[in-house]
Amino acid sequence: MSIAELADVTAAHPVLRELRPNLAPLEEFRAQAEQQQAAGYRLIASLDGNGEIAAVAGFRTGRSFAWGHYLYIDDLVTLPAARKQGHAKALLDWIDAEARRLGIGEIHLDSGTSRHDAHRRYRGTGFVIPSLHFSKPTPEA
């Protein structure tokens, strides 16, 4: 298993669809990914023994009054056939090292309330649940 930063995000599209089934078709996805990359989004992959992508993590850095200099994990997913083989932990370890390298004080992520296996992984790697995240659609005018 090895970790690689992906300059071309198209290879991650089928893996990200596991987490986000409503993900845009490939060309739309590529255009949005390029916009996100221009704003600092980075995508890394955990490769299996054959060099195939088994898991991906997408993240960005920022600054806020609430968190200071932070790293936010937008996407973290492992293909079903590759789960429980250490890919998510390897990605999270790489992100920890990158956050240290960048002098970042905190790493954040949100996770759907029904993703219990993911929650166990996050808690097992030092994440805590310090707050609840609320959202709502923008009211129509």
Amino acid at 137: P
Q: Report how far residue 18's alpha carbon sits from residue 22's, in angstroms, rounded to the nearest whole number.
A: 9
pTM for the predicted model, two decimal places:
0.91
DSSP one-letter string for 123-140: HHTT----S-----PPPP
Alpha helices per DSSP H over 2-115: 13-19, 26-38, 87-102
In order of start, what are the domains of the chain with their CATH numbers? 2-124 (3.40.630.30)
DSSP 8-state symbol, 100: H
Using one digit for the tens of pLDDT, what is the confidence trace for 89-141?
A: 999 999 999 999 999 999 999 988 888 888 888 898 999 999 888 889 999 87
- 18-40: average pLDDT: 93
Region of 117 on the Ramachandran plot (φ > 0 left; ψ -120 to 50 alpha; else beta)? alpha
